[in-house]
């Protein structure tokens, strides 16, 4: 990745307050944040443009996040993009379902800004072992 180009993040979240909270936490400096409010919109935007990270809610209108995740991971043009689920679901079965759908990890709601920034920084700088499963 060209260090001069912004690290592009797509946030797919149906709650406007959470969408804007994530944008305000991340949209700074070498990071550019775009948002979508539904599963179909997120899928379309992810396929239309190149992103370096997708943050995806599980419960979305039109198409749930697990379906969007499976579709993005099955498409060669988006399969390698890191995808982390933003979820309030904390049961082990829910988390396993996210990983089985192809998610690289998950971030529990409510989350801290530092948690998101750490993930973005690790992915942006190419560090191995980006946080996620837990």
Residues 111-127 pLDDT 10s: 888 888 899 989 988 87
Instruction: Please give the structure tokens belonging to residue 52.
Output: 């370096």
Question: First vs last Cα of the chain: how many Å apart?
Answer: 27
DSSP 73: H
Q: What's residue 131's pLDDT?
A: 43
pTM of the predicted structure, to 2 decimals: 0.89
pLDDT in tens, 47-75: 999 999 999 999 999 999 999 999 999 99
User: Domain limits of the chain?
Assistant: 7-124
Q: What's residue 134's pLDDT?
A: 42
26/84: higher pLDDT: 84
d(CA 120, CA 15): 21
- Torsion 25-122-45-61 (CA) sign: negative
Of 47, 45, 48, 26, which is closest to residue 36 (Cα–Cα)? 45
Fold entry, domain 7-124? Rossmann fold (3.40.50)
Task: Outline where DSSP puts E strands in 1-134.
Answer: 7-12, 31-36, 53-57, 83-87, 105-108
């Amino acid at each position: 990745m060209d260090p001069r180009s912004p690290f592009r993040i797509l946030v797919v979240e149906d709650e406007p307050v959470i969408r804007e909270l994530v944008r305000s936490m991340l949209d700074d400096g070498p990071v550019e944040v775009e948002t979508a409010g539904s599963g179909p919109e997120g899928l379309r935007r992810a396929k239309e443009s190149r992103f370096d990270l997708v943050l995806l809610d599980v419960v979305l209108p039109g198409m749930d996040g697990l379906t969007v995740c499976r579709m993005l991971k099955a498409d060669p043009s988006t399969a390698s993009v890191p995808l982390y689920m933003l979820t309030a679901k904390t049961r082990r079965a829910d988390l396993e379902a996210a990983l089985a759908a192809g998610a690289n990890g998950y971030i529990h709601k409510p989350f801290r800004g530092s948690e998101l920034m750490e993930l973005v920084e690790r992915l942006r700088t190419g560090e191995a072992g980006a946080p996620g499963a837990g």
